[in-house]
Amino acid sequence: MLIVCPNTAKYVWQKEIKKWLGKEAFVVGDKPWNRFTSWKKAIMEGVKPTAYFIIHYEGLRKADTQEILNLMDFDLVCFDEAHKLRNANTQQFKGAETLEVKQGKVFISGSPVVNSPLDVYALLALSEPGVWTRNSFLAMYTFGSQGQWGYKVHGVRNQASLRKEVHERSIRRTKSEVLSQLPPKVMQEVPLELSEAQRKVYERMEKDFFALLEDGTPLHSPNMMSQLMRLRQITTDPTILGVSSPSVKTDAVMGYMEETDKVVVFSIFKTFINVLAKEMEKAHISYVRLTGDESPQERAAAVDAFQTDPKIKACIGTMQVMGESITLTAASAVILVDRWWSPAVNDQAVDRLHRPGQHNSVQVISLVAQDTIDQYVEEVLSTKRGFASELDVAREAIMRRREALKEKK
């Protein structure tokens, strides 16, 4: 089976397959499945290390990856967040189209129609190749005009027939139908792999940190705690420290913006919130920001705007400022880019959404950079309750990270 999903969901799928099926799933691009020649040789020799492979959508654009995938003889392909294939003119759609599958394809999406009926055409064309051509679909279900950039859809025709086409091939579950089955909070830890550039920055800083620790510098010294915070900043976004490098967490947050109506984003770093604000402006996403630089009146106005204005998609801020004394129930999704040392402080931040006035189950997304101190802080926090000591959490996370590094040697 092949799972095609957003980059941010690769390791979530890997973790869930292990949890529910007890099977290992391989992420395409990770070692040893990151070199075209060795991978192709293994497949040609009949080596298949697992029944489950995971690839992100961008991988479908690569000709060599497509060649290998078509040697795999998959029974089933599952497309998670399938609306990412809605444009039939893209390379990733064409890559999905070339996949050879024995039994069929499954498409999962919370928003199959984003812009026009053409979004539906893309999924229908992939699920049943040859049933519709683009022109026959346009003629049957849309009216529009030819413009400078091609055919522009102005509206839908034969809606009842189109609805029947979709319903015959889909199972739809609305949030209201499943709400009674969901817990009040749905906790989701999202493991992320640092890019090569971000990893190099992180490992250089981590080496210096452990060298100081081995020399006998106490952890509670200001120098050591500031070094530890720098490590965490690098896993969040290296540009916080003035280092030019992509950030897997920033990319993940921006990816979630495409998939949710309203979202609250917490970070413990004010500098990151300012970086994120610039990214949102580039993407033309309306947001409000709370970092402590606002007057009480500005803070109240920002919260009110987020709660009442459907055009404002995000409320972003620091956990220290935005994590108490306000209500943010207009959103039912919250992203913890990084977490505070105390479980109680993190819980209090989440409860800005999970409080009276909230009519939906709250999705809590915690972004965790794998094979970094971030991962071990998350592990320690999962075992603590209440106001655990900041130093105790830091000490235990460092101890676990040190042991993991020793095992690697």
3-state secondary structure of 266: strand
For 27, 58, 86, 146, 403, the CA distances from 68, given in Å and listed in that order, are: 14, 15, 24, 39, 37
The answer to whether residues 168 and 199 belong to one domain is no
The answer to whether residues 201 and 52 belong to one domain is no
Q: What does the pLDDT look like over 7-58, one tens digit per residue?
A: 777 888 888 899 899 998 888 776 655 566 666 777 777 766 678 989 989 8
Q: What does the pLDDT look like over 293-348, one tens digit per residue?
A: 998 889 889 999 999 999 999 999 999 899 888 889 999 999 999 998 878 788 88
pLDDT-based confidence at residue 389 (cuts at 50, 70, 90):
low
The two three-digit tokens of residue 260, written as one number: 């949710």
What mean pLDDT comes out for the span 60-80? 86
- In angstroms, the CA 114 to CA 238 distance is 33
107: domain CATH number is: 3.40.50.10810
Q: Is the residue at 227 inside a domain?
A: yes
Q: What does the pLDDT look like over 153-163, one tens digit per residue?
A: 888 889 889 88
The answer to whether residues 66 and 207 belong to one domain is no
Residue 387 has pLDDT above 60, yes or no: no
The answer to whether residues 44 and 122 belong to one domain is yes
Residue 114 has pLDDT above 60, yes or no: no
Is it true that the peptide bond before 32 is cis, omega within 30 degrees of 0?
yes
Q: Going along 148-285, which residue ranges are E strands? A: 150-156, 185-192, 263-267
Q: Is the residue at 64 inside a domain?
A: yes
- Per-residue DSSP letters for 202-217? HHHHHHHHHHHHHTT-
Domain containing 122: what range? 2-173
Query: CA angle, 148 as apex, 146 and 150 as ends, to 5°?
Result: 50
Q: Is the residue at 179 inside a domain?
A: no
For 191, 262, 330, the CA distances from 312, given in Å and listed in that order, are: 28, 8, 10
% the chain with pLDDT above 90: 34
Residue count of the chain: 409
Token pair 């609805």 in the structure block, residue: 163
Q: Is the residue at 178 inside a domain?
A: no
- In angstroms, the CA 287 to CA 374 distance is 27
| Most confidently predicted of 67-76, 134-143, 386-395 | 134-143
pLDDT-based confidence at residue 115 (cuts at 50, 70, 90):
low
Structural domain total, the chain: 2
pLDDT for 59: 86
Of the three residues 115, 149, 173, the one that is the final residue of a domain is: 173
- Per-residue DSSP letters for 318-371? EHHHHSSS---TT-SEEEESS--S-HHHHHHHHTTTSSTT--SPEEEEEEEETT
Q: Where are the alpha helices (DSSP H) in 62-194?
A: 63-69, 91-98, 118-127, 134-141, 159-167, 175-178
